[in-house]
Amino acid sequence: MNAFAEKRSQALETCEKVMEGIENGTTSVSASLLMCKRIARLVNDLDGQEWLNYEYGGYPRADDGFVLHKAWEVGAMHGRLYKSKNKDGSFSSCIFTELCGELEANIESSKKAIGNYTTQGYSVSGDLALLATDRLTVRVHEGTNILLQNIQTAERRLSILKSQYYDYASKWQIELQFGNTAKSVFEMYQERVDRYYSALPTSALQKLNTIEELLEDNNPEHYAQILTSCRRLWTETAKTLFNEVLPNYTGKLFKTRSGKDIDISGDHDNNKLSAVIETLQTKAARNTLVGSETIYLVDWMEQINNAQSAGVHHEVTRDQAMRCIIHTYIVLGDILSLKANVDNVE
């Protein structure tokens, strides 16, 4: 198991611990928060890390005492928003900033304080004894009500945070479980087509290894390099397959079955692959996905090329890099598989 797979496995296990602990009441909200922070780190969820860092370390305030705008927005998005009534009767949007650990401590201390609010052991005598006792009873009652209200508010807010942490763990559990299923399907596909990739030149195989290393490095600066490496792999594979499938072709144009002439000279690598696909299709023993979806594949090649070209000059996300790898691998794998099937027939 590589480092990336190990992290996914640990994250999934932590998700299940959070959910089980909250469901059966064996895990405190504070402990659930720490486990959610671990999930965010393992899956490299930057937005989640930002939010959970506020949840753990506090929502920062400016010099005027107000919560910083960015932190306020994050808190509002994660259940902390409430309406506060102003003196003029209007309402303002606010967020509560107590941390879950503070809420837990407040609930515990308030419950203990209620137990200490009593008239037992209090003794008075004289003409004002009854009045003094009545006043004490009122104060105990008022103090108890205030503490009960504080407990209710704290428990309600703690329940909101607990729900947020549970939902976060649940969301990632679903994504990771689906990801494992998709991974298993992809691994079966990979096992089938890897032998076709092994027939490529060594330089192309080296590019595959470079792409995997760049992704596992998890460095945002390498994501654009991944797109560039995919484009180079694409280009080299196109040239290799064209020379193998159409070794004696000397023309600059190739006429497709639809009658359209496409330029296959120079660096028109997508057109070269289109020519390869059409040539292989005419020789295939049966219609295949690659053969029946030629137009789609050529359009898809253009999209990849545009995305890769944009990646050289624009910031590329991990998601874009991963999708580029997957699509490049699958499309080239299908073409290589088609070629291998035709070679076997011949």
Assigned domain for 159 exists: yes
Asked whether the beta carbons of 325 and 244 are under 8 A apart, the reply is no
pLDDT tens digits for range 21-61: 999 999 999 999 999 999 999 998 999 999 999 999 999 99
pLDDT tens digits for range 152-163: 999 999 999 999
pLDDT tens digits for range 280-295: 877 765 555 554 444 5
Element spanning 95, H or E: strand 91-95
Burial class (CB in 10 A: 0-12, 13-18, 19+), 13: middle
Residues 215 and 313 in one domain: yes
Q: Is the pLDDT of residue 195 over 70?
A: yes
The pLDDT value given to residue 10: 94
Domain residue limits at 169:
3-58+97-175
**CA dihedral sign, ordered 111, 112, 113, 114:** positive
289 or 196: which carries more pLDDT confidence? Answer: 196
Residues 224 and 167 in one domain: no
Among residues 129, 144, 175, the one where a domain terminates is: 175
Residues 227 and 130 in one domain: no
The pLDDT value given to residue 39: 96
**CA dihedral sign, ordered 189, 273, 196, 231:** negative
Residues 257 and 156 in one domain: no
Residues 167 and 204 in one domain: no
Assigned domain for 76 exists: no
3-class SS shares of the chain: helix, strand, coil, % to 5:
75, 5, 20
The pLDDT value given to residue 293: 46
Q: Residue 92 has what DSSP assignment? A: E
Residues 153 and 207 in one domain: no
The pLDDT value given to residue 117: 59
pLDDT tens digits for range 236-280: 888 888 998 898 888 899 988 778 888 999 888 888 888 888 888
Assigned domain for 86 exists: no
The pLDDT value given to residue 297: 44
Closest of 131, 152, 157, 149 to residue 55, by C-alpha = 157
Which of 93-97, 157-161, 177-181, 301-305 bottoms out in mean pLDDT, i.e. has the lowest? 301-305
Q: How many domains does the chain have?
A: 2
Q: Is the pLDDT of residue 328 over 70?
A: yes
Element spanning 255, H or E: strand 253-255
Assigned domain for 183 exists: no
In this structure, the dihedral spanned by the alpha carbons of residues 301, 303, 304 and 309, taken in order and rounded to 10 degrees, is 120
Q: Is the pLDDT of residue 196 over 80?
A: no
Residues 104 and 156 in one domain: yes
180 or 40: which carries more pLDDT confidence? Answer: 40
159 or 325: which carries more pLDDT confidence? Answer: 159
Residues 169 and 256 in one domain: no
Assigned domain for 116 exists: yes
State CA 274 to chain mean position distance.
Answer: 35
DSSP annotation string for 119-151: -TT----STTHHHHHHHHHHHHHHHHHHHHHHH
Residues 43 and 112 in one domain: yes
Among residues 125, 143, 175, the one where a domain terminates is: 175
Residues 223 and 303 in one domain: yes
The pLDDT value given to residue 234: 81
The pLDDT value given to residue 111: 85
